[in-house]
Chains A and B, each alone.
Chain A
Amino acid sequence: MADSRQDTALAGDLHWYDLPDDEAQADGAHDGTAAGEARAGERGGAAGGSRAGKRHGSAVGGRIRRAAVNSTAILLLLAAWETLPMLGVVDRVFVPPLSDDLVAWYDLLISGELPEHLQASLARSLAGFGLAILLTIPLGLLIGWYRPVADFLTPLLELFRNTSAVALLPVFTLILGIGETTKITFVLYACSWPILLNTISGVRTVEPLLIKSARSMGLGPFRLFQKVILPAAVPTIFTGVRLAGAYSILVLLFAEMVGAKAGLGYLILDTQSSFRIPDMYAGIITISVLGLLFNLLLVAVERRFSTWRTT
């Protein structure tokens, strides 16, 4: 289960609680303790207030600086994409300049071709992803809660997780045909493992002292689950959900390239084979922006549910 935690540290997934500002703030709180607890009430209050003020001030400046740092590499890539084909360093037939691709993208958008493919892809992704959430979170909670069941099933689940969904696509196709059911099932399969394993791990790794503390206040198993286990597991579950969100788009593309008449994967492969190269890049740009936006949305939701998690 250790690697499922590692997944949380994917590049680009900086969280506010990973940032140096907050560590400095935590240190400040400790200094406050060392400097004398006697007047912790007033002192802590004043210090807390000024800290919050400073944090707000530096947050704006920091955000601009961070945005600049974050976007520099991307801007460089886009510039290279535009200029290198123009200068003839790369073949502009295979890699047209960015501006050509953007024009193609705009034409596809206006003609309605792009929205149609986008809609097909989104419907499949969201259906598979949504079903995975609905089915595997309750399942994971159950498995995690009954320790013997978890011990029994974990090796099997690890095996399935490490069996690429792509390897099983032919099996899905054999059983379910080449229609929508196959693609949604395919996405469902790929999304299920990160959610399921993170949910199980979230339930199982609740700080034992919290359970002991709640038990000492006379909570029975049901209340314990509802008031301690579940809230403690939420951040870990959300990490799984966010990973699944990324998978839902990644794997769908593959399914659409193998057997489909619509969808962004189909668009990309179809335009390539009919040599509409700028259109192909338009499809690729769409998919990467879509993936990025989806991830940002999920990160925002995750953050909302885990404000208290500081480590």
Chain B
Amino acid sequence: MNDMSQILKKEPEPAPGEALSAESLPAKSSPVLRFEAPPSTSLWAHARYIVTENPVTGLAFGLFALILLAALIGPSIVPYDPLASNTNAALQAPSRAHWFGTDQLGRDIFSRVIAATRLDFSIAVFSVALVFVLGGLAGVMAGFFGGWVDKLVGRIADTIMAFPLFVLAMGIVAALGNSVTNIVLATAIINFPLYARVARAEANVRREAGFVQAARLSGNSDWRLLLTQILPNIMPIMAVQMSLTMGYAILNAAGLSFIGLGVRPPTPEWGIMVAEGASFIVSGEWWIAFFPGLALMIAVFCFNLLGDGVRDLVDPQRRN
């Protein structure tokens, strides 16, 4: 357990999720989740093992580093201004000057694809962080207190699940207003049931665990038990859940902007760039839609593999 949280801490993961998963340090005290790592194995050796043992996971971590880099410093290293149009150079096929070609306004697609990483990545990270807090907390409370809290959370989750999720996200963004913030919110809401259920199940199992009862006998209040005993112990599982839903979050957000919600042109964003290139596909200018789509695909692919990798780190028993 100790291993995993420290590894997560050393992984260059951005703020909200990171801060929370670092809290899983006290999980050391959990008798339920501890897995046997030989005491001599240092955490780096374990991380190296996970990354090198399965080359696919290694690839995913490498891609993740690239995406992170592009999100952090991308906009300042791109060869062209992602917003600057140049009608003399419109609709050029990929070349040495423009690696990914140019679009109908002569904007450099390579620069736009790289610059878009920050926005797409932030949407995914913020929505996952938001649902992690909301869904996680609601689920833990439902599992720990039971009773009407459980019923209420269950009912909310059921109602959300009664909608096809993408359709609900469309409805939410349309109603709340067409902005990036609302895309983040909508993506978080449709993931709520998933997080709430996992957190509920995990909290429910631990409610009567020995260490919780010991803490209760020492005179801790319910809320204190929940925050200091239960919550830290379910963090690893929730961290896995987060990395598994990142890919879906990014896909969902790109889908929403593909149909014209949230992100507005000329902002570079993968979904909207694919939408802009869609009308040129039939006349053969494939590169306008292809490269942003490819970037999106690689990002989702990377997050999905990464999710499996993090799960292997945290919970070796569920490996497949």
Q: Do A and B come from one complex?
A: no
A interface vs B, CB < 8 Å? none
B interface vs A, CB < 8 Å? none
